[in-house]
Amino acid sequence: MAVSQKIEVETVDEKEGLRILDEAAQRYLHISGEEFLIAWDAGKYHEDTPEIMCVAMLIHLAR
């Protein structure tokens, strides 16, 4: 017997995505989202710590 599930998808614009990334960067790394993106783009993160990855996985929302 098949079970029907309703899945809701919410989209966010770039501004909201940056807000989400900023909150995560402040929570996990104690820096702003903008500071994180600058450091990420400059290749300053060489470790794959859980804190860095929690923020990095949100980059696509802000760009």
Q: What is the pLDDT of residues 12-61, one digit of tens each?
A: 999 999 999 999 999 999 999 999 999 999 999 988 899 999 999 999 99
pTM of the shown model: 0.82
Residue with tokens 């770039």: 14
**Per-residue pLDDT tens over the stretch 48-59:** 899 999 999 999
pLDDT value of position 11: 92
Q: Residue ranges of the domains in the chain? A: 14-62
Higher pLDDT: 1 or 17? It is 17
Work out the burial of residue 36: count CB atoms within 10 Å of its CB; fewer than 13 is exposed, 13-18 middle, 19 or more buried: buried
Q: How confident is the model at residue 1 (pLDDT cuts 50, 70, 90)?
A: low
DSSP state of 50: H
